[in-house]
Amino acid sequence: MSSAVKENHVGVRNRRQGQFGQVMHRLSKNKVAMVGLVIMILLILMAVFSPWITPYDYAKTSKADRYAGPSAAHPFGCDGMGRDILSRIMYGARASLWLGLMSTLVATVIGVVIGSLVGYYGGKVDNIVMRILDIIQAIPGMLLSIAISAALGSGIGNTILALSIGGIPMTVRLLRGSILTVRKQEYIEAAEKINCSRFRVIMSHILPNSIAPVIVSVTMGIGNTILQAASLSYIGLGVQPPTPEWGAMLSEGKAMITKYPHLCIFPGLAIMVVVLCLNMLGDGLRDAMDPKLKN
């Protein structure tokens, strides 16, 4: 990364490591963030290997175990069709994590492309694009996701699209704002003057120096998107039963909540743990990227 970055940061113990190395070093000293990171990695491994490690088949029904409460054989109990809830939660991590990661990724990639173009070129295009984003942002995010999700229909792919569209304006705004402060710096002018192509100026000079706020907001955004995805599934849009997704499981269980609360308690706890870990990690990353903010 360019050397200008290092000098911009305060309190950097610079031992010839890149900016990335410094951030990781500071992050590794943050215990809370590390706990979040470790649990998150374990959860991702669990999601990836779930077909092989779940105690039961997630789709296997059993009449004898209908609504069985938590026991040694089924730690989280069984649902209305006698399916093991622990196995369903483990397998459901795939859908829930995938939804959160992919929607945020899609929103970020599109947001970064648009943001860097309008931030760099400015002018009329910037004006038009920002006004269009104003319109999208004037609709409360959840409402927009609900409407798009209804229009596209259920399913994981469509839900990803529905969730990501609402996230684009924020990324664009963040990146554009931070590019505008970088844009007039001497090193950008220098790069332009030595005939770097525009693509190169954006990719290797502007973006590395302005992407930090986006990275922080992405980490926080994944958690938020998982919450939104679960809410969508809960009201019957988004991912639908029998796909084991945490929000959908809650939606299935809500009718019987008074009699069999374990149907709802555990999927909700799973959502909370994941989002909590992501937020812990996000907080740590924010502090590591901008030591000025750390108190």
Partner 1 sequence: MIRYVGKRLLWMIPVMLGIAILIFSIMYICPGDPAQSLLGPSATAVELAAKREELGLNDPYIVRLGRYLYQTFIRFDLGTSYKFGTSVFSGLMERMQYTLVIALFCMALQVFVGTPLGIVAATHHNGVADRISMFLALVGVSIPAFWLALMLVLIFSVNLGWLPTSGVANGIASFILPCVANSFAGIAAQARHTRSSMLEVIRSDYIITAKAKGLSQRTVLFKHALPNALIPIITIVGNGMGMMLGGTVIIENVFAIPGVGRYMTDAITARDYPVVMGGVLVLGLIFSLIMLLVDIIYAFVDPRIKAQYEGRKGKK
Binding site for partner 1 (CB under 8 A): 131-132, 134-136, 138-143, 146-148, 150-153, 223, 227, 230-231, 234-237, 247, 250, 254, 257-258, 261, 264-265, 268, 271-272, 275-276, 278-280, 283, 293, 295
240 φ/ψ sector (left φ>0, alpha ψ -120 to 50, else beta): beta
Structural Rg of the chain based on CA atoms? 22
The residue with tokens 């996000």 is 282
- Given a contact cutoff of 8 angstroms between Cβ atoms, the answer to whether 294 and 216 are in contact is no
Alpha carbon 177 to its chain's center: 21
- Given a contact cutoff of 8 angstroms between Cβ atoms, the answer to whether 33 and 283 are in contact is yes
Q: How far is CA 252 from CA 179, 233, 239, in A?
A: 46, 10, 12
Q: Please report which helix (H) or strand (E) contains residue 115, including its range.
A: helix 85-121
Q: How far is the CB of 246 from partner 1 (least distance, A)?
A: 9
Backbone angles phi, psi at 243, to 5 degrees: -55, 130
Closer residue to partner 1 (CB): 68 or 229: 229
Closer residue to partner 1 (CB): 93 or 148: 148
Q: How far is the CB of 273 from partner 1 (least distance, A)?
A: 8
Closer residue to partner 1 (CB): 237 or 289: 237
Closer residue to partner 1 (CB): 107 or 191: 107
Q: How far is the CB of 207 from partner 1 (least distance, A)?
A: 26
d(CA 115, CA 170): 10
Q: How far is the CB of 153 from partner 1 (least distance, A)?
A: 6
Closer residue to partner 1 (CB): 16 or 259: 259
Q: How far is the CB of 279 from partner 1 (least distance, A)?
A: 5
Closer residue to partner 1 (CB): 61 or 137: 137
The residue with tokens 């795939």 is 94
Q: How far is the CB of 265 from partner 1 (least distance, A)?
A: 7
